[in-house]
Amino acid sequence: MPSYDHECYECQYVWEDTYSMKQDPPTICPKCGGKARRIITTVPACKVILSGPELRAHIKDEQKKIRQQLKTDEKLKANLSGEDNYHNTQINSRKIGEEINQI
């Protein structure tokens, strides 16, 4: 059976109650006897767990997206390779470029 949140108009008392969807919601506050209403709440998003071929396909798709992002996003490159490694690579590539220009 689903559970629902309720609130009293008069004392603002909030409580949870479980009953059938076919039943009418309570209209009387159990604390003060005042008029109450059911609160409409959002349902948290459900999580789908992938396995087997679906998981492998999802991972491949994510890899493609990341590879595309790496072509243009320097911050992502630094985050994935580690900042020190990234900076060393940049320094080395500049040195190689300078050596090529001197030839």
**pLDDT, tens digit only, all 103 positions of the chain:** 678 899 999 999 999 988 888 888 889 999 999 999 998 766 665 667 778 888 899 899 999 998 898 888 888 887 877 877 777 887 888 878 777 777 6
Domain boundaries, the chain: 3-39, 52-102
Q: pTM of the full predicted structure? A: 0.40
Cβ contact 39:16 at 8 Å: no
Q: What is d(CA 88, CA 93) in angstroms, rounded to the nearest whole number?
A: 9
Give the C-alpha distances (Å, rounded to integers) separating 50 from 46, 59, 61, 65. 13, 10, 13, 18
Residue 30 falls in which region: left (phi positive, over 0), alpha (psi -120 to 50) or beta: alpha
Q: What is the pLDDT of residues 44-57, one digit of tens each?
A: 656 677 788 888 99
36 and 28 Cβ atoms separated by less than 8 Å: yes
